């Protein structure tokens, strides 16, 4: 898994390390930007998300889902708001409308990812797509005085 704490500055490098399968697509995206770094959001949206959709459609055999869940947990546990926001906007927005996918991922998710996903579900109106035990995470987020705004 990631070698160091994931931040907005190393998010893509750590993603590439955990998912070497995206390297060719990453290099193509980098080339399309004239060799300049396209940014975390663009890499997640245009490099990782298409790969993710293909893997999810294949029912993600092998170690793909555990790697994905561990990577998201490392990001969510990092406390780096920018890295976490990138995961929220590019990955959680893909997951939350699909209740079957959320329920499938839930047992594999770490506590920080569950908490963040429940928070996103609450904010975006997808609490109904969480598994039953996920409702408690959403309620905890709702009643936490230091809830992020």
- Burial class of residue 89 in the structure, from the number of CB atoms within 10 Å of its CB (0-12 exposed, 13-18 middle, 19+ buried): middle
Q: What is the pTM of this model?
A: 0.86
Task: Tell me the pLDDT band of 60, cut-offs 50, 70 and 90.
Answer: low
* Cβ count within 10 A of residue 96: 20
Helices (H), the chain: 11-18, 23-32, 40-43, 49-57, 64-78, 81-87, 93-95, 99-105, 111-124, 134-142
Task: Tell me the pLDDT band of 149, cut-offs 50, 70 and 90.
Answer: very low
Mean pLDDT of the chain: 89
pLDDT at residue 44 tops 70: yes
């Amino acid at each position: 898994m990631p070698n160091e704490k994931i931040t907005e500055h190393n998010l893509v490098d750590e993603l590439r390390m955990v998912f070497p399968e995206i390297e060719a697509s990453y290099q193509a995206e980098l080339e399309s930007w004239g060799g300049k770094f396209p940014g975390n959001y663009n890499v997640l949206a245009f490099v990782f998300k298409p790969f993710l959709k293909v893997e999810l459609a294949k029912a993600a055999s092998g170690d793909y889902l555990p790697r994905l869940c561990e990577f998201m947990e490392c990001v969510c546990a990092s406390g780096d708001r920018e890295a976490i926001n990138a995961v929220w906007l590019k990955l959680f927005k893909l997951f939350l409308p699909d209740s079957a996918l959320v329920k499938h991922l839930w047992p594999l998710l770490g506590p920080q990812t569950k908490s963040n996903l429940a928070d996103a579900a609450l904010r975006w109106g997808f609490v109904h797509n969480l598994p039953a035990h996920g409702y408690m995470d959403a309620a905890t987020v709702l009643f936490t005085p230091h809830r992020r705004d």
